[in-house]
Amino acid sequence: MQQPAAIITGASNGIGRGVAELLLEKGWWVLGLDREATTLQAANYEHELVDLTQADFGAAFEELLARLEPELVVHSAGIGIMQPFANSPQDADERLILLNVGAAYAVTKAFVREAYRSQRPQHLILLSSLSGISATPGMALYAGSKHFVSGLAKSVAAELRQDAPWAKVSTVAPPPVRTQFRERSGRATRSKPIRGVLEVRDVAEEILRVYRRPTLDRIPGFMPRLLFHWVRPWIPHRILLKKIYQSAQKE
């Protein structure tokens, strides 16, 4: 039986790293792409330093897909901004758009083009967020970028079901996860850790489940799904958004 192969963007840290570690445990061959080096060492793991925001990344990624023919692509690379939209510097906004929107576009475009060309089974899983399926004041631009990811995936998945059913596109929409996301957004570590935060492993395992059973905007964790789908709709919208905004500003 041939060893399955995966390509993971944003593989040096956070969820991308967690997915790489889980797949390696399951016997996959994994290629990690990131602009940062990694400490992950394994016989079945290779790591390439890549800037996903470069203009030629999309074409290079399409060539990589054609050469490696992975069964799974996980696009996890992304950054956040945790401050009111009026306050974030324009250069920081533009960096976020280049990576969260531009790279997601490039990965998806290359995947779809390669899927039509090769006509082989393959699956792209894009990392969205709860912020990509709901309003998140205090993280407006990040939320907007993840709405792009979720909206693009839904429409592309529908096209593939009609024209290229051998290829799948899915999204996973995690709630807050215990990573360095906040610190990498330029904010200090919270003085009091918030409760109910998922571990990276929880999200990685959900991504593997989605690979086996494609779906869109899958929220990892039973309690986060319960709260989002069954509890949250009963909270008055203005009160909910006020609490989310206040939480985003807490130190």
Lowest mean pLDDT among 28-37, 63-72, 157-166, 242-251: 242-251
Q: Is the pLDDT confidence value at 184 over 90?
A: no
Q: Is the pLDDT confidence value at 16 over 60?
A: yes
Q: Is the pLDDT confidence value at 162 over 80?
A: yes
Residue type, 247: S
- Report d(CA 165, CA 198) in Å as an integer: 33
- pLDDT, average across residues 59-69: 97
Read off the CATH number of the domain in which 221 is found.
3.40.50.720
Question: Residue 64 has what pLDDT?
Answer: 97
Question: Residue 26 has what pLDDT?
Answer: 97
Question: Which string of DSSP letters, residue by residue, matches 42-68?
Answer: -TTEEEEE--TTSTTHHHHHHHHHHHH
The DSSP code for 122 is: E
Question: Residue 250 has what pLDDT?
Answer: 75
Model confidence band, residue 178 (pLDDT cutoffs 50, 70, 90)? confident
Q: What is the pLDDT of residues 73-101, one digit of tens each?
A: 999 999 999 999 999 999 999 999 999 99
Are 160 and 169 contacting, i.e. CB atoms less than 8 angstroms apart? yes
- State how many domains the chain has: 1
- Report d(CA 130, CA 111) in Å as an integer: 24
Q: Long-range CB contacts (< 8 A, 24+ apart) of 42-48?
A: 44/3, 45/20, 47/11, 47/12
Q: Containing domain of residue 39, as a range? A: 5-249
Parallel, antiparallel, or unpaired: how do β-strands 122-127 and 72-75 relate?
parallel
Q: Is the pLDDT confidence value at 183 over 80?
A: no
Instruction: Report the percent of the chain where pLDDT is more than 90.
Output: 87
Q: Is the pLDDT confidence value at 186 over 80?
A: no
Q: What is the pLDDT of residues 189-231, one digit of tens each?
A: 555 666 668 999 999 999 999 999 999 999 999 999 999 999 9
Question: Residue 248 has what pLDDT?
Answer: 79
Q: What is the pLDDT of residues 25-44, one digit of tens each?
A: 999 999 999 999 999 999 99
Q: Is the pLDDT confidence value at 244 over 60?
A: yes
Model confidence band, residue 247 (pLDDT cutoffs 50, 70, 90)? confident
Structure tokens at 80: 């956040």
List helix spans (H) across the chain. 14-25, 57-68, 90-96, 104-118, 140-163, 181-184, 200-212, 222-226, 237-249
Whole-model pTM: value is 0.94
Of 54, 53, 153, 164, the residue nearest 109 (C-alpha): 153
Model confidence band, residue 181 (pLDDT cutoffs 50, 70, 90)? low
